[in-house]
Amino acid sequence: MDRLRQRADFVAAASGPRMASPAFVVQSRPRDDAGPVRVGFTVTKKVGTATERNRVRRRLRELVKRLDVISMRPHHDYVIVGRRAALDRGFETMFNDLRSALSRLERQPPRQPSDPKPHANSRTRSSE
């Protein structure tokens, strides 16, 4: 597994399907290349001080390290957004939450681009 580092990859993953748990949100995005699974971590300042954010990030990284690669789809990017509850939640509970979120993401169909809405001025006239 590789790490996501560039902002464009994080933004692209944000537009894909997501699953939430009390301690984190998992976002997913399929890629068109043959590269390995990539994972990125985000913890906002709303979570707490720098020390608390780093602790959440370390816990999330350890969860992914202990996770079997089979749980993640090949050729996908995943972003895990940490929440404040990750500070106090039990590690085994978070691990089960992550496995559950990944399996739910796997069952979820990919998002289709929505049809553009017609403009009010582009109405068709039936008889003129």
The three-state secondary structure class of 117 is coil
**Confidence (pLDDT) at 121:** 52
Helix (H, G, I), strand (E, B) or coil at 97: helix
pTM, to two decimals: 0.82
Region 71-78: mean pLDDT is 89
Through-space distance between the first and last CA atoms of the chain, rounded to whole angstroms: 63
pLDDT in tens, 33-53: 888 999 999 999 999 999 999
pLDDT in the model for residue 113: 52
DSSP string, 16-64: S-EEE-SSEEEEEEE-SS-PPPEEEEEE-GGG-SHHHHHHHHHHHHHHH
pLDDT band at 116 (very low <50, low <70, confident <90, very high): very low
31 or 50, higher pLDDT: 50
Please give the pLDDT value at position 115: 44
56-64: average pLDDT: 96
Instruction: Retrieve residue 78's tokens.
Output: 């995943």
